[in-house]
């Protein structure tokens, strides 16, 4: 085992089980979760719930009757725990649902978080929390007023490689971090789709619809870059500059940006340079500190991650990120304990404030100061 791997092993969190060791059996009450929205990521969450110790898939809400029928059969979901978007509010009477996980297009997060809260259900919403700071504030207030907890699906907060880069940065293992490059992008769409008449209102293409998505790859992917810079430094940015990249597929990207770059400045003097794109592939995190460097590549996606430091390779087990996230949230809610602030709505709104500032900086060509 190299020096880097040895360093990594010391930082392994207690809930990350090393290879060859079994989880402690838990046979207590499970948190009953209803997934609201049955897109691709809901499938990953359902798989995660299959192996969760503290949570179980108990219900669904969808706008598609055929999806409801498929999921009902596949996951043995009782008819009484299946909702449409129209009758969703009836979930208030269902004692078999404890928490609603909102996995809908970004602009729908606010509505269904508030509806779930008013029904007395705890809520997890996917990233980004919402499409505006104002909406985030409304969501936080609704959950506080209802006495329920609100979490944001920050799965990487429980992922061992990311816990390690957070430790390396915040504990200044290599000294003060001076520069970070954190970028994530995928060549997602094909210009041929536009020539065939891409329907931005189609559910499969909602990320190209500004009203539904709130923005382009910055909203969808850039949030991972922002998050990593913030939790590695343990600081909030004080200023931002940004630039929209040239649009190579104007018919596809008529409403949202195709790619964007930005630079965050921090009080410590650190600078973070980032890019997010639907037009090219990139998946990388790199940090340079006074006495060394550390990086992940792939770095910000679903993994499997690979990393190294100036002292050697990082080596952690691959985990089911959804299972781990759900278990850590579930066991706290079951114990009636507050969720840590780093995954609550108070964290989610910070990202949206920064995203709004990045868009403003790109639109105006000026540096935006962050309060």
Residues catalogued as catalytic: 127, 224
| Residues forming a β-bridge with 357 | none
Contacts of 346 (CB under 8 A, 6+ apart): 140
Residue in 148, 151, 122 with CA at minimum distance from that of residue 34: 122
Identify whether the C-beta of residue 224 lies closer than 8 Å to the C-beta of residue 300: yes
Given CA atoms 67, 69, 70, 73 in this order, what sign does their dihedral have?
positive
CA 274, 276, 277, 280: dihedral to nearest 10 degrees? 50
Residue in 227, 233, 295 with CA at minimum distance from that of residue 4: 295
Q: Is 312 exposed, middle or buried (0-12, 13-18, 19+ CB in 10 A)?
A: middle
Integer Cα distance of 95 and 13 in angstroms: 34
Using the 8-state DSSP alphabet, how is residue 318 labeled?
-
Q: Which two tokens stand for residue 214?
A: 């709130």
Residue with tokens 């971090």: 177
DSSP 237-274: EEEEEEEEPP-S-TTT-SSS-SEEEEEEEETTS-EEEE
Q: Which two tokens stand for residue 1?
A: 């085992």
Integer Cα distance of 177 and 232 in angstroms: 9
């Amino acid at each position: 085992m190299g020096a880097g791997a040895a360093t990594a092993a010391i930082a392994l969190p207690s809930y990350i089980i090393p290879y060859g060791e079994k989880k402690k059996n838990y046979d207590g009450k499970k948190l009953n979760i209803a997934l609201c929205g049955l897109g691709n990521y809901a499938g990953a969450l359902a798989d995660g719930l299959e192996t969760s110790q503290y949570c179980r898939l108990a219900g669904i809400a969808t706008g598609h009757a055929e999806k409801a029928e498929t999921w009902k059969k596949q996951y043995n979901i009782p008819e009484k725990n299946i909702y449409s978007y129209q009758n969703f509010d009836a979930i208030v009477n269902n004692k078999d649902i404890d928490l609603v996980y909102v996995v809908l297009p970004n602009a729908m997060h606010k509505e269904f978080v508030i509806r779930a809260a008013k029904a007395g259900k705890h809520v997890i919403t996917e990233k980004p929390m919402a499409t505006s700071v104002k909406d985030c504030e409304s969501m936080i207030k609704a959950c506080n007023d209802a006495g329920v907890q609100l979490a944001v699906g920050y799965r990487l907060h429980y992922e061992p490689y990311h816990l390690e880069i957070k430790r390396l940065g915040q504990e200044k293992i290599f000294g003060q971090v001076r520069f970070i490059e954190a970028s994530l992008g995928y060549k997602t769409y094909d210009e041929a789709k536009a020539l065939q008449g891409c329907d931005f209102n189609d559910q499969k293409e909602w990320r190209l619809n500004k009203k539904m998505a709130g923005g382009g790859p910055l909203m969808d992917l850039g949030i991972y870059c922002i998050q990593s810079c913030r939790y590695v430094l343990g600081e909030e940015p004080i200023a931002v500059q940004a630039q929209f990249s040239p649009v190579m597929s104007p018919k596809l990207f008529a409403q949202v940006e195709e790619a964007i770059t930005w630079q965050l400045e921090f009080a410590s003097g650190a600078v973070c340079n980032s890019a997010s794109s639907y037009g090219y592939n990139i998946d990388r995190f790199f940090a340079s500190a006074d006495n060394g460097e550390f990086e992940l590549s792939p770095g910000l996606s679903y993994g499997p991650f690979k990393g190294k430091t100036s002292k050697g390779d990082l080596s952690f087990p691959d985990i089911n990120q959804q299972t781990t996230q759900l278990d850590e949230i579930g066991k706290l809610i079951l114990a009636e304990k507050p969720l840590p602030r780093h995954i609550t709505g108070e964290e989610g709104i910070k990202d949206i404030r920064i995203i709004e500032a990045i868009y403003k900086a790109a639109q105006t060509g000026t540096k935006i100061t962050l309060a």
